[in-house]
Structure 1
């Protein structure tokens, strides 16, 4: 990996856009809502694949997108990538549960979560006084959830070497 693609570098670049604690707090709410909304909206259509000797496998755009995101996270760091993959799996499962309640729940819930999540994001950047990171680097759509998880690990006193590297 090049230094620009290192975990610490990605987190440091994202952190540059998130110094105001109010902005970070709005992201703690907004980012999970957006991720859940995307997993909900992409839970349809579903394709059933019959695997000989196994149960049928259901594939959705949400599962495929999560798998691609997990590969991105795993390439940055195996342990944190595994945690991110687990969290994505939870979001996919919840998104699928909402999507199969009814069409109204699927669309209303997915779109509602998306709008509310982005309102939180935009309010946060109003506090920050700086544009969102994705304006300069589209990878920040993937780094945002990672940032929240890693900041949570830092708050628990974990990964102090990574924290020093990110803050350095």
Structure 2
């Protein structure tokens, strides 16, 4: 197995119930965006705006690209879009920025824990913090599989 396949298979072990997977398809993107929004302040002007979220996105993007170039490119694009949204919201009134960030974060986690109630198993991140990065990749992979893409990865992780 490749490192991508090992990470997705390990994460998938905690997500066998289709209802749990469905909640993750909603909750994880909400949390993913929320973290970026919340880390979009402060904004440092270094010729271009720079935020803690952008620095985190750079590191996460490198993690994803090292696992798999194609999935990594999708994840990097999603990170860039989230950083753009975060930058836009960070320019708004504090209540708007914080309301969106905290609201998405809390709602996303509630949805996640509902999914794990269906699963009857604790979230993967309680055993391995790396799964906090693998979760968003899992969502992208599941969507790719639903579209009939990356069947070789799907076959390798579902043996």
- Aligning the two structures, in what range does the TM-score lie when normalised by the shorter sequence? over 0.9
Partner of 2:61: 70
CA-CA distance at 1:58 after TM superposition:
1.3
Normalised TM-score (structure 1): 0.91
2:134 matched to which residue of 1?
143
Q: Does residue 1:6 correspond to 2:17, yes or no? A: no
Scaled by the length of structure 2, the TM-score of the pair is 0.96
1:98 alignment partner in structure 2 = 89
Determine if the alignment matches structure 1 residue 44 to structure 2 residue 41.
yes
Aligned length: 159
| Structure 1 counterpart of 2:74, from 83, 95, 109 | 83
Rounded to whole Å, the distance in 2 between the matches of 1:154 and 1:25 is: 13
The alpha-carbon deviation at position 78 of structure 1 amounts to 1.1
Structure 2, unaligned stretches of length 5 or more? none
Instruction: Report runs of 4+ in structure 1 exceeding 4 Å deviation.
Output: none
What's the secondary structure of 1:33's corresponding residue?
Answer: helix
Aligned counterpart in structure 2 of residue 19 of structure 1, from 4, 9, 16: 16
Cα RMSD (Å) of the superposition? 1.1
Residue equivalent to 1:126: 117
Q: Which has the larger radius of gyration?
A: 1
What are the Cα deviations for residues 67-103 of structure 1, in whole angstroms up to 9, with x where unaligned? 1000100110111111110011111111221221211
